[in-house]
Amino acid sequence: EAAITDRRKASETLLFSVYGEEALRQSLRPWAVTVPATAAEPEAENVLERQAIERREDLVAARKDLVAAGITLGSTRNALLPDLDLVGSVGTGGTAGSFSRAMDRALDNDEPSWSLGLALTFPIGNRGDEARYDAARIEKERRRLAYVDLENSIRLATRNARLDVVLGRERLAAAEESRELADARLRADRERLELGLTDTIRVLETEEDATSAYLAEARARYGLAAAAARLRAALGGAAP
């Protein structure tokens, strides 16, 4: 009698862990109130990584920062380069015995003149531009390293989340199979009890096993749903 009581208490404890106050109105088959949809088989690892790299807004922002740093570095580098300019001039003149005559010849363009040349200017002692170039170079390297680190972390998170989904599907399949077997044993033992071929303790043990199998299936199902949510987050909120 004590063994029967202990088995019944154990079964009721399992039911209350699932249903709470509703346990008394439930049979020994603890289905969850809301059952999450089973996650589909995820795509290949390289496909998911490519999707994450393209869609993650934080990585897109980091990529833009890196491009902006490269533009800044280019402009500060140009400030250190020598300037080569093409210079030229065109004019006219006039010579004569008097000022008025010279002006007339100049206005008539009797003596045109022109010049053309190159002017090369080297910046010397330009410490301000050199300091700005060094700062821009360091900033670009910092952003490059930050981008690479973020990309690697996204790839790793995507791989781990995908693996969790794959393993979660396997665990759920195994849990469903175990629950079906436990359910079948419970039905068989109940029939045997009605025929007097077994005792109440045996049926209570089978009920406890069946309840545990349902709980294991529920844990596996919700574990898979959590893994699928992590994969969606790794992909930037997109469906895997």
Least confident span in 60-64, 109-113, 148-152, 186-190 = 109-113
Taking only the tens place, the pLDDT of each residue in 120-165 is 566 666 777 778 889 999 999 999 999 999 999 999 999 999 999 9
pLDDT at 95 over 60: no
Per the confidence metrics, is the pTM higher than 0.85?
A: no
Better pLDDT: 67 or 24? 67
pLDDT at 215 over 90: no
Q: How far apart are CA 164 and CA 162, in angstroms?
A: 5
CA dist 189 → 81, 180, 194, 198, 233 (Å): 91, 14, 9, 7, 46
Shortest CA distance to 47 belongs to which of 153, 158, 170? 158
pLDDT at 29 over 50: no
What confidence score (pLDDT) does residue 145 get?
A: 95
